[in-house]
Structure 1
């Protein structure tokens, strides 16, 4: 089965940007038996499949923000705007089978090595867009107004793509009946904490698609209680989590001359294990190219109370780059039997996701939905994720 980016691959990106909207034509994304046809196979009506292909093509062609108007103009079909808007926000098609088809395609052509749980803050104001609230943005280090969403990415060194999404819904969006009605939030949607929402993005997909229990890479530096990681571990998914150096553990490693029985900071534990560091060469999947060398130390630890892997052996992993006295990154995982070199290379998939997000999802409309429709947001994100994959395959020359 092929997945042909067709016209997108055949055109130079600069030419696409400069091409007048009235001359734009939808790229040919493959033969009828292609994965694009599979993507839309869950749509029972032909007119829905046509609208789906138009919307997907427009996400690839439209300049700037991927509004419905810009999508219609990029296709040379300005009269399609209302029909496309209804297809996304007013129709009844289920996005779940389409996400499963997208994941199934990636499973066949580029099997993922891990999940990467990616948190996204989308700055927005007011209540004209579903899910808007005020959140602490860990990267910005301040409170911002906007949406908080979580993407579950299939990740390998060759390709990464978001295959499932959840939108955190602040309590007032759930409890306010008028607001809930205007956003057309289904009755099955109840309030979840941000940590529940994050973990369920992966757990829901892994359960519904019955995929093997792949490791989940995630960032816990801003999650003091590790609630999302505990939910993933309880669901049978191995966790590889980046943590703050101040997090505390009890050393439980027979390889050390002394194992302390009181909690120590991760930084302190790794500092005492410097003598055991080993060099590891790794190829950067994040775009810088070439081979890099890091120094790595791994220590068996356990947590003092409830936390990630409370009943499992854990490994604390520190990575140093040349000339550093303190670890550049600190990770903890319940993959205690995995060789430290292999564990380090697995963490580098987060670099691949960061690169592919900048090349794909950030350019195919993942942050561009505006509107109160909860279902509309999910349909838009489903198609934006498929467009992400198409775009990356086009940049790679197709598969």
Structure 2
């Protein structure tokens, strides 16, 4: 018996997800949009998709797709949960997953697109006018899948209710830092019953002590980036117990003195002997093995006058460098090997593949609208199409290339709206 074609499998996948849209009349547009995201289009915004799926009725199809993406009130969380329910059974069996937290940026002109602001833009590594979204991906060594997605809204927006109202930002959306958004996503992912994973994040998240503490309170393991100025108690040292004179209320604050005090992560890294560092290979890269020099020591974070539990401080110091390159903090068990710590810390690279494929192959950054609902709906639909690709790669071990459906033939009379080339005007 021959296995179903890719398009038959995609149709079955969309049928499974369709109830998440809430109303049956949204389903045709949902399928059209996802199908369009699977086509080899140079631009995956509403107008090119409408022209590709229904070239004889572009205007009507455009209106239907625009309603689905920019106006219809279906739940992004429900759709992403449905995608996860389809994909994760192929991804998770027999392994401990990673929960990778990160953010990605979208360069934008003007000031009207929801959440746009002059802020750090990871795409170019400096300040620029852009939007930023926070995501949580479930990953293993084989693949990864975003399961949560939300726009970061700067204070320049949340402090301006009229501006938020024009962009359709819900009234209950208050200012939240990126770590705050990430914690909400972690909580929602736990509540959805998804198998817990080791949380990975860069120093923008890992540097926040309360953020790490909340993960630990929820029973989650983590291995997160920290900065070189992180204050720690070196191995075999710890804060002095509270001293009580016998009078008054017994003190609870742990002590330090001029001779007995914590040090920075950088100072500790420099104080270690060369024998503490080992060369570790953590993955086979495209052209060569990925190798560097690492050390791991048990430390206590020195934040406030509290005695905290020991954790791993992982240090990467390439042999050719004059100082350490990166630091991580992890609450993984004391018997965790250095090789395991390194492989866990370095597993965060998969999030870059998510973003690369979602942008380059599925048009994540092609949405031309300005409102909150459209921004999130477009991203959810892109993740739905990407989820199918992930599942097919896992099911069909021989499937390595990006799946593409054949491009339909457009009539000779077809012209893009607004001109003979380029995308349509703002949706």
Compute the TM-score of the two structures, normalised by the length of structure 2: 0.76
Displacement after TM superposition at 1:299 (Å): 0.5
Please name the residue that 1:244 is paired with.
227
Structure 1 residues 161 and 135: alpha-carbon distance in aligned structure 2, compared to 1, 3 A threshold: same
CA-based RMSD of the aligned residues comes to 3.1
Contact 1:40 1:49 in 2 (8 A): yes
Structure 2 partner of 1:264: 263
Aligned residue in 2 for 1:357 = 355
Equivalent residue, structure 1, for 2:83 = 102
For 2:386 and 2:295, how far apart are their aligned partners in 1? Answer: 36
Deviation (angstroms), 1:56: 0.9
1:16 corresponds in structure 2 to none
**How far has the Cα of 1:35 moved from its partner?**
3.4
Q: Residue 396 of structure 1 corresponds to which residue in structure 2? A: 400
Q: Which runs of 5 or more structure 1 residues have no equivalent in the other structure?
A: 7-27, 255-259
The question of 1:45 aligning with 2:43 is answered no
Cα distance in 2 between the residues matched to 1:369 and 1:349 = 29
Q: What are the ranges of 5 or more consecutive residues in structure 2 without an aligned counterpart? A: 238-258, 394-398, 404-427
Structure whose alpha-carbon radius of gyration is higher? 2
Count residues with an aligned counterpart: 366
> Quick one: structure 1 residues 372 and 324, their matched pair in 2 at CA, closer, same or farther if it must change by over 3 Å?
closer
Residue 182 of structure 1: which of 156, 166, 174 is its match?
A: 166
1:192 equivalenced with 2:176 (yes/no)? yes
d(CA) in 2 for partners of 1:218, 1:4: 39
Q: CA deviation at 1:230?
A: 4.2
Q: In structure 2, do the counterparts of structure 1 residues 334 and 170 end up closer, same or farther at CA, with 3 Å as the change threshold? A: same
Shift of 1:377: 1.4
The separation in 1 between residues aligned to 2:159 and 2:325, in whole angstroms, is 43
Q: SS at the partner of 1:117?
A: strand
Which secondary structure state, in structure 2, belongs to the residue aligned with residue 30 of structure 1?
helix
Q: How far has the Cα of 1:101 moved from its partner?
A: 1.3
Alignment check: 8 A CA contact 2:302 2:308 kept: no
Relative to structure 1, the CA distance from residue 44 to residue 140 in structure 2 (aligned partners, 3 Å threshold; closer, same or farther) is: closer
Deviation of 1:118 (Å) = 1.4
Residue 221 of structure 1 deviates from its aligned partner by: 5.1
Please state how far the C-alpha of 1:298 moved relative to its aligned partner: 0.8
Cα distance, 1:376 vs structure 2: 1.7
Question: CA shift at 1:233, angstroms?
Answer: 3.6
1:30 aligns with 2:9: yes
Query: What displacement does 1:317 show?
Result: 0.7
Over 3 Å counting, the alpha-carbon distance change for 1:4 and 1:156 in structure 2 is: farther
Q: Cα deviation per residue 1:169-191 (whole Å; 9 max; x = unaligned)?
A: 12343343432332222233222
What is the CA distance between 1:54 and its match in structure 2?
Answer: 0.9
Q: CA deviation at 1:68?
A: 0.6
Q: Where does 1:275-286 land on structure 2 (aligned, <5 Å)?
A: 275-284=275-284
Give the deviation of 1:38 after TM superposition.
2.1
Query: Is residue 5–residue 391 contact of structure 1 (8 Å, CA) maintained in 2?
Result: no
Compared with structure 1, are the counterparts of its residues 312 and 137 closer, same or farther at alpha carbon in structure 2 (3 Å cutoff)? farther
CA contact 2:358–2:382 (8 Å) conserved in 1: no
Deviation at 1:139, TM superposition (A): 7.2
Task: Determine which of 33, 42, 46 is the counterpart of 1:55.
Answer: 33
How far is 1:117 from its partner?
0.8
Aligned in 2, Cα 1:140/1:301: closer, same or farther, shift over 3 Å?
Answer: farther
Contact in 2 for aligned 1:251/1:261 (Cα 8 Å) = no
Pair 75,102 (structure 1): closer, same or farther in 2 beyond 3 Å: same
2: CA distance, partners of 1:230 / 1:141 = 29
Kept after mapping to 2: 8 A contact 1:114/1:154: yes
Tell me if the contact between 2:138 and 2:197 (Cα under 8 Å) persists in the aligned partners.
no
1:343-390, Cα deviation, whole Å (9 max, x unpaired): 211122222222343234443122222323212211111111122233
With over 3 angstroms needed to count, the CA separation of the structure-2 counterparts of 1:5 and 1:234, relative to structure 1, is farther
